[in-house]
Structure 1
């Protein structure tokens, strides 16, 4: 949640810990206040402290982050993509830097080679052993994004040779069973509940389960609706389950009428509507100004933006 300071304490903090008001940050960075607010509220790129009256106070780390954002934009990267880049190189904090640095190319290649061999041999015991070893060694985002899902996509794309479809089905079935268990474990006693559904034809079942795992936290439980869930019936589902938000996931290119369909769906819901997956990046500009939020397609970024949105700190 946003850290709140009383106005008097805010002045004291400003003097003692070098927190800067937005006008000073604008002068130091050359970024106007309107843009700074948009980077915070729409994209979740910065997180200033707030006084009780709502005034923003920025730390030196915030200023450094703003300068990094500006550098990437000046190189031609759109602001909607900057968060993903910074998460990859550590611009959004120590946790992201740690996750990025825990595995190098040699380790990644070795683990993936072992997984491929187990799949080639249809050796479920060995695959289960590797799965446990990987999870005991690396953080969850690294397990899926850097190790398992890239191998899964390789097998999904190789359907020409004899036995390749069987290999992919073997791996897909194994991972779907394990991810379903993990999604159920993450529900726990979370105080907030989010529903996750796929756009029609937008992804395979495993991709949806993995997205649910990556978005979940100890405070936010993600309930995954089965693939094939009719969009027109989501208003009924949400009225019964009463989630804090509904997230639609897709890795497919949106059609020309997708924004209109989503706006209509959003109007029928009793909760906010969010997008995740590659569609969130591709449809971001077309949904600008609507009530639909975009979480992005990278695991840590989706989780971070979802948390910010539920805390009321990420604009749609």
Structure 2
């Protein structure tokens, strides 16, 4: 069997050409990004996710190469590498949203009308219709949560506080039901808890529901959980990871507190939500890994972490 300079057999090399997969040396040549940087973009920032062979070789698709060029474009504009992932995720969401815009706008309008009438039967029917038409992520991120956020932001107007509470109660009930149905053994289990500070329960519940996958089960700790008691909770529940969530920037001193907490846990500590986006640079090299704020990116980086392919 002939082996080429990349350590791949001629049969494997032919297979790569048929599938348009490229070894790291070739990707470095065509993009101008050295292999060390490519590995850092994968392991530290989760920006790319090449295919791995059984022997551990990284293989990149044309889509991966296109992503690398987009990353370079943002870096040339002066964007920090830690911020590029969220920009790319928002760009993908926007591109997908162009196709879904008319559909989701119609669903949102119907949800608003049902909530305005306090019509629980109509809202129940709408949820089932949307759930049948869209995947779970889109049900919440593109239809129900935007309405929920809009009502929360407009509570100064007469009647909107009551409408928001009505929708909030409905969605919490639906999410709780989905979480109960998802309680089956998984390859990995994570605990999800809010950071100290403002946290609306539904934000946490939806994050827990969407963070779960066929491989990862999520157990929730509710708002009010005492941060200093997490080592005790983790000792008794023995999760594979502890994920702390917040959609607000870390308060002064909280980053150092999280680093101290991580050293006292018997499992890895990860940070999710908008807090993770803002804290990634400050936590670089610490025991705390950042998952990001976009739900698909959070799931992908969690998979990478459990596969040993994401650095803190």
* Residue number in structure 1 paired with 2:60: 58
* Residue number in structure 1 paired with 2:70: 68
Q: Deviations over 1:71-105 (max 9, x none)?
A: 23223433333333433444xxxxx89x9258532
Q: Is the 8 A contact 2:16 2:22 kept in 1?
A: no
Asked whether 1:194 is paired with 2:184, we answer no
Query: What is the rounded CA distance, in whole Å, between the counterparts of 2:108 and 2:274 in structure 1?
Result: 24
Q: Is the 8 A contact 1:195 1:224 kept in 2?
A: yes
2:176 to 147, 160, 180: 180
Asked whether 1:151 is paired with 2:153, we answer no
Q: CA deviation at 1:216?
A: 0.6
* Residue number in structure 1 paired with 2:260: 264
Q: Is the 8 A contact 1:88 1:100 kept in 2?
A: no
| Distance change (3 Å), C-alpha of 1:132 and 1:89 | same
Aligned length: 304
Q: Deviations over 1:118-172 (max 9, x none)?
A: 1111111111111111111111111111111111011112222332221111111
Query: What is the rounded CA distance, in whole Å, between the counterparts of 2:127 and 2:54 in structure 1?
Result: 48
| Distance change (3 Å), C-alpha of 1:29 and 1:127 | same
* Residue number in structure 1 paired with 2:211: 215
**Residue segments in structure 1 that go unaligned for 5+ positions in a row:** 1-6, 91-95
Query: What is the rounded CA distance, in whole Å, between the counterparts of 1:124 and 1:201 in structure 2?
Result: 32
Please report the TM-score for the alignment, with normalisation by the length of structure 2.
Answer: 0.90
Query: What is the rounded CA distance, in whole Å, between the counterparts of 1:224 and 1:202 in structure 2?
Result: 17
SS of the aligned residue for 1:289 comes to: coil
Asked whether 1:246 is paired with 2:228, we answer no
Asked whether 1:106 is paired with 2:102, we answer yes
Q: Is the 8 A contact 1:202 1:249 kept in 2?
A: no
* Residue number in structure 1 paired with 2:115: 119
Give the root-mean-square deviation of aligned CA atoms: 2.2
* Residue number in structure 1 paired with 2:27: 25
**Residue segments in structure 2 that go unaligned for 5+ positions in a row:** 1-5
SS of the aligned residue for 1:108 comes to: helix
Query: What is the rounded CA distance, in whole Å, between the counterparts of 2:29 and 2:107 in structure 1?
Result: 49
